[in-house]
Structure 1
Amino acid sequence: MNRSPLKLAFEHVSRPFRVPVKTARGTAAARETIVVSMRDEAGRVGRGEIAPWGGFGCETLDAAEAALRALAEHAGKPESLADAVPARLPCTRHALAAAAFFLDNPAEFAAPEPTPAAVCRLIPRDAADAPETLAEKIRRAHAEGFRAFKIKIGLAALADEVALCDALLRLAAESFPDARLRFDANGAWRDDALDALAPLAAFPQLEFVEQPLAPAPENDAAVLALPRERAAKIALDESLREPWTLPDDAPVVAVVKPLLVGDFPRLRAWLRRENAAPRFVLSSVFETDVGRSVLRALCARAADNPRALAAGVGTLAFFRENPPRH
């Protein structure tokens, strides 16, 4: 059997958080991913990361590793590796396609981190945090140059969470009116939440409420059917694995987690579209430095696109100081 000159390697990486990350879907103490590398006969190396995230319709790491082992004898070009992986393994397909791309485009792998002004900072939250406590965390990040801030909601009853959002928006209007707040519910509620959240749209400091309803065809249809002035302050995330399937005139923001998108070349093309497509946010899934290199390259690619909002990649501070091995 002829062996391919392409060498494929992978490594499981575990990265603990400084403090557990809490969302409406549960609490995570560490981030488990797989770093993939491919080396060609010329000695060039390309890397990607397999970073599935619960609740997003992704494969398990065990399934990803099994697929990688099945490719050990794969003969062909680097870009064909992703096509050899089933579509039900989108994170694996992404990692292989990204690695093949960076094999040929190493300079893009070295793109710099975007400036704080171009990044949305995730504000850590405990369910018991008062609005003033969260506002102080926002104030400190604002002093570092950040202007967009994301707060997880859906940790308590709908009425309590709406009251928290209202209070935070009022505090922001008083103390840092140039700030823009994003509230991420991680699909915590039913469609009656849309009416409860609607009054928040009156605040210019609200950029959007992210994924207020669980990902489901009927819920997505309800969001897209809302009047434009309300839906324009709603974003889809868990519902959106292929952002190019959204109608060009969809009155929502597309939160795109690149490491969960299986078709990396098509994603890169979609990010360059400047007109007739929804606004978008490139978003982190708490990846290692390899995954962040992918995000940095895509942020640089989309930097001059008027559809792009501040990227949701302000997650570095959540990890302990133990750089992963590659």
Structure 2
Amino acid sequence: MTNGYRFEFRPYQRRFVRTLTTNHGTWDIREGIILRLTDELGKIGWGEIAPISWFGSETLEQALDFCRQLPREITDEIIFSIPDELPACQFGFESAQEWGETQLIASVLGSEFFSIPNAPCPMPHAQFYSALLPAGEAALNQWETLWEQGYHTFKWKIGVYAIANELEIFESLIDTLPAFTKLRLDANGGLSYEEANLWLRTCDTLKANVELPVEIEFIEQPLPVEQFQQMLELSTSYKTAIAIDESVATLRQLAACYQQGWRGIFVIKPGIVGSPSRLRKFCHQHKIDTVFSSVFETAIGRLAALRLAAELSQNNRAVGFGIDHFFEQEDTWFQSLWNDL
């Protein structure tokens, strides 16, 4: 796309089919902003701002305030000068600016756009995705449906209920999942140091069982962000890998954790991490072990995020975008937003 663009935006709301429960609390409605940039040749670029303030990004209101104060005509200079305090805005505007360069322009946004498996996506098959299971016992009732859809990697939320109950459910899940399944445990920073040790010891014990058909891939963000040094210590004390997520929500945090010695797995949420161009530069320079993950964005943000994942993933880990079952089909509400624009 060229240097000057006509800028338009619309806020959106999407209700989860079922309440999403994590250590951070419950989540019923996903809110965000769809951006449209039209260049001087009439080519359209789409972007999405999908903040999660409790995870480390700006708030939705801050993002809306930023969009409202922009002129109707904007330039690359404006896009690439968005401050680091607005990382979801950085991602949304740069993604829209890059849209034309990827040839995913307005013609893509026909009926096939709303069915992501048929859209021009670099990783179209479910086996490349990690499917998110609900917290607690509900996971035992849902994995089979997702397995039949082609998912072989699952992420299960822990640190939500009493640890004794979760460990019991975990053992049932391990006994039930088919061979060659990969399982990720995501605590969202909700464990105490003692609980984190217990989970890691339990996983190490299970991994020592050569007949265990399920691979426990890693425990994600076992401790709060402020306990980074303890997570660094734990990462060298157990065979079970640790991934950091909330600790690296933004590019600034990503660089800080790397500088402090983290060489384990980095879970990157493109929708809130910040500038895609700067993320590329960092990943190419440091060759970090990444897992790219969703922020429950729409198809627009997901396409941009998956292109980054395809380009920057080093170890072919499943991407954390298996979340479609948390929403109704996008077609109706999104087409309405499209027509409104």
Q: Is the contact between residue 210 and residue 235 of structure 1 (CA under 8 Å) also seen in structure 2?
A: yes
The alpha carbon displacement at 1:124 in A equals 2.4
Show the counterpart of 1:123.
Answer: 133
Show the counterpart of 1:201.
Answer: 204
Show the counterpart of 2:65.
Answer: 66
**Map of 1:221-232 to 2, 5 A cutoff?**
221-228=229-236, 230=238
Change beyond 3 A, Cα 1:234–1:163: farther
Show the counterpart of 1:167.
Answer: 172
The alpha carbon displacement at 1:272 in A equals 4.9
Q: Is the contact between residue 152 and residue 182 of structure 2 (CA under 8 Å) also seen in structure 1?
A: yes
The 2-side partners of 1:215 and 1:227 are apart by: 15
The alpha carbon displacement at 1:161 in A equals 2.3
**Map of 1:48-197 to 2, 5 A cutoff?**
48-72=47-71, 76=75, 78=76, 80-107=77-104, 111-112=120-121, 113-125=123-135, 127=136, 129=137, 134-172=139-177, 176-197=178-199
Show the counterpart of 2:112.
Answer: none
TM-score (norm 2): 0.81
The 2-side partners of 1:278 and 1:139 are apart by: 33
Show the counterpart of 1:321.
Answer: 329
The alpha carbon displacement at 1:75 in A equals 5.1
CA deviation map 1:36-72 (0-9, x unaligned): 1111111111111111114212111111111112221
Change beyond 3 A, Cα 1:111–1:321: closer
Q: Note if 1:262 corresponds to 2:261.
A: no
Computed over aligned residues only, the root mean square deviation of the Cα atoms, in angstroms, reads: 2.5
Q: Note if 1:286 corresponds to 2:283.
A: no
SS of residue paired to 1:192: helix
Q: Is the contact between residue 6 and residue 73 of structure 2 (CA under 8 Å) also seen in structure 1?
A: no
The alpha carbon displacement at 1:168 in A equals 2.1
Change beyond 3 A, Cα 1:97–1:227: closer
Q: Is the contact between residue 253 and residue 281 of structure 1 (CA under 8 Å) also seen in structure 2?
A: yes
The alpha carbon displacement at 1:252 in A equals 2.4
TM-score (norm 1): 0.85
Change beyond 3 A, Cα 1:34–1:104: same
The 2-side partners of 1:49 and 1:135 are apart by: 33
Q: Which has the higher helix share?
A: 2
CA deviation map 1:284-323 (0-9, x unaligned): 1111111111123223324xx5424100001112112343
Identity %: 28
